Chains A and B, each alone.
Chain A
């Protein structure tokens, strides 16, 4: 579903990702862990085309993300191509990024009506269903600022799902939440993971969640994947000393 091939990303002189290659199968749930600054979030941002690769290619569902093939060679794609591929990808952000100038309903129907071309009625039905799913059915006409952080994040998840994405990117979605609100959001994500076949790529510091949610866990350090294994293996018997140190540090904190 997702293929990274020799991807490199620099910010100025700082190399964030080096020669990165990996792939994710359809329906797979992959969690990226590692110390901050190791490039995990950059991977999600590259997939959402919020950043551009400096070298290498990324493809999603068999199509290049920011390149198109022309006469046998790859050339950078335009905004229109990126937007086309992006329709298949949803993202939930650490800071929710709900639009404050719209109600919850507005946030949920905006893209389905304007990007997917759904009618208002269809989009409204979809919005109501999704809000029921995330347990906020009665908040459809509330304003984002009237909601708690946990509720805002659940609306943001519903907003991403409203686009019926093939791939869902979760970028530290519980990091900005008060501790007592984290469990509810994680439970919701587990339910979504079980009840859909969406491919999910997730960056998180919640190791318990990573453990029972993922099919695979990738440990990042210094812009490289240093270990890639099922959670059962990685959390109990990692191959790398760096992985052991990292897990020790986060589990004991």
Chain B
């Protein structure tokens, strides 16, 4: 136990890379999920097919393979090497974006048809319908599955240790274990706890967003709103 301080400080040196990969990956995932998810619902067949190839291609292959491909093969094809951490963000985003696309598609399709018709009857354009009416309602459905997806993404950042990104798993396995081999149990427990804490933070943030989004569509009205609703019945 006397080395716990050392372990913690060595592991925390890897935190910036882990956090960069997680946050960058999540940002890219959100963008790609929305773009590819809406493309899956496009009236244009070409757009749908392209998006479908992206989704199935990325979901059908292993994330580790994708990482090595971008890290070792892409440079041969394009002629320059991507900085490891950004190659990591790219793979995390591309891979989880493919899963997120299906979440977005499902959530948009779950919005009742009547809402489209209401928006058409008001003369809103297709883009306005999506942005102003359908997406805000679909977001409520998306948030819980996105919570799981983001935790998967956090866990996936550990694979960046394979391409020499000095994130927390690599710090443990390359720096600590060789020096303190008999204490491998403590080192890895500490590492696992750090991941657990990070995933609890993601869940807390997502729960908060879920509450905000649900309140906006009146799913779980506040006490005040519920009181008003009860009084409204007599009018």
Contact = CB atoms under 8 A, between A and B. Distances in A.
Contacts, number: 88
A97 B221 contact: no
B133 A86 contact: no
Interface stretch (A12-20, A138-146, A192-200, A226-234): A138-146
Interface in A84-134: 86-87, 89-91, 93, 95, 97-101, 110-111, 114-115
A146 B126 contact: no
B216 interface: yes
A214 interface: no
A36 interface: no
A143 B220 CA distance: 12
Contacts of B232: 146-148, 151
B122 A163 contact: yes
A110 B118 contact: no
B235 interface: yes
Contact of A50 (B117, B218, B219): B117
Given A110-B132, A148-B232, A100 B122 contact: no
Interface string A146-189: 11101100000001100100000000000000000000000000
A79 interface: yes
B133 A101 contact: yes
Given A97-B118, A146-B218, A111 B235 contact: no
B137 A100 contact: yes
Nearest to A92: B121
Which of B126, B133, B218, B225 has the largest number of chain A CB atoms within 10 A?
B218
A45 to B, nearest CB: 8
10 contacts: A83-B123, A90-B122, A99-B133, A110-B122, A144-B218, A145-B217, A145-B221, A148-B232, A151-B235, A163-B123
